Chain A
Amino acid sequence: MLDTSLSWNDIFFLLRGASVTLSLTAWAVLGGTALGLIFGIVRAGGPIWASSLLGAVLDVFRSVPLLIQFVLINSFKSILGLDWSAFFVACLTLSIYTAAYCTEVVRSGVLAVPKSTRRAARSLGMTYTQDLTSIVLPMATRVMLPSWIGLTLGVMKDTALVLWIGIVELLRASQTIITRIQEPMLVLAVAGLLYFLMSYPLARLGARLERKWKRQ
């Protein structure tokens, strides 16, 4: 039963794939959160034309399959004749995709801060920026963090799609090994276990935070 041609080298290959998955996730979440914060604040409190325009544009990224977005941005890059690496294209696409979701998370967080609290801050003489950074964002973080963790996990799972534009991440690495040793069940089980190990602890943390903060 334990007769397999899966070697230690293959396991290392898979782990390297997993590290690509993680670094893609990190970049995408970093870029996406930075963009999402700005967009979210505009969506929550900016002028109505900017808010609705931004909402409509970001909605497109949430209603078109990520796979198609990858192909589109990848071919758009070729049309413009830019010399970007596939990794950069993947990060860019994922960042925009993450930002589209993060914006809504931030928006609902900011809107969850009562208007009277913000007015109180302003009447104490705080400037708009001070109000934003020391009153609104700390309070909004409480509301945002659980769904932000959920978003991060979602993005990590969505990075699997970059295999379509030719990046060797965890799933693609397992496919490569499958082609060689022809034991799909075993290799996929190992890959699945790796995904599970990366995602499950964070998922538990998110659920616990949500429960804890809901009680207060």
Chain B
Amino acid sequence: MLHGALVSLEIAALSMVVGTGIAVFLALSKRSSNQLLIGFSNLWIGTARNTPALFQIYMVYFGLGSLGIYIDSASALLIGIAFNNAGYLAETFRGGLEAIPGTQLRAARSLGMKPALAMRLVVLPQMFRIVFHATTNQMVWALLMTSLGVVVGMTDDLAGVTQELNVRTFRTFEYFIVAAAIYYALAKIFTGSARLLSWRLFRY
């Protein structure tokens, strides 16, 4: 089960990295003037936020399967959660970007920075500081969402391993209470280390 927890953790972390990357892109393109980009990110964010995460995983697992793209349940889970994370984080990041005064970008540009450089060195670091807390919450969410993998037949993450043991022994309550304890501990470790990290990173 501890090995399963490691797999869950891996998927959560990976989905978070991918999700953050896409979310930055979505948040930036929502502020751009390109109608196509705006429409695309509105569609993505709207779908991700207004349908259940399990539905999104189903869509990847069964939906893409019907188009002839077969993927195993672990990747389906990963893609589904990453999709979901990206949608939620994009909204968070958009809020973060709005909180940064436009003068910051203009000041950076007038110092001779190119737009991409100004974005990377001036705007994004400030944004990540503003949204840090919301992002750690999303990280915990991602971890809890990995438990949905068992519904599409995953057997090696924490929920999957537990279900496997449950089917073999019928000791449902015993195994799942242990799984619950592990999830709880992981979530606490996340929030605890995030607090430590923010204390270390964001002091002036």
Contact = CB atoms under 8 A, between A and B. Distances in A.
Q: Do A and B bind each other?
A: yes
Interface of A: 60, 63-69, 71-72, 75-76, 78-79, 153, 157-161, 163-164, 171, 175, 178, 182-185, 188-189, 191-192, 195-196, 199-200, 203
B117 interface: no
Contact of B159 (A68, A184, A188): A68
5 contacts: A60-B184, A72-B180, A157-B51, A185-B63, A196-B47
B177 A72 contact: yes
Interface in B42-80: 46-47, 49-55, 58-59, 62-63, 65-67
Contact of B183 (A68, A159, A175, A188): A68
Contact of B144 (A66, A163, A182, A199): A66
Given A68-B162, A72-B173, A185-B67, 11 more contacts: A64-B180, A67-B147, A67-B150, A68-B147, A71-B176, A153-B50, A160-B55, A171-B54, A184-B66, A196-B51, A199-B49
Contact of A171 (B55, B140, B146, B184): B55
B179 interface: yes
Interface of B: 46-47, 49-55, 58-59, 62-63, 65-67, 140, 144-148, 150-151, 159, 162, 172-173, 176-177, 179-180, 183-184, 187-188
B173 A192 contact: no
Contact of A157 (B53, B150, B172, B187): B53
For the complex, would chain B's binding face be called helix, strand, loop or mixed by DSSP majority? helix
Q: Chain A interface secondary structure, helix, strand, loop or mixed?
A: helix
B67 A203 contact: no
Contact of B59 (A60, A164, A192): A192
A115 B147 CA distance: 42
A153 B54 CA distance: 15
A63 B62 contact: no
A192 B55 contact: yes
B159 A191 contact: no
B55 A75 contact: no
Contacts of B150: 67
B62 A184 contact: yes
Contacts of A200: 46, 50
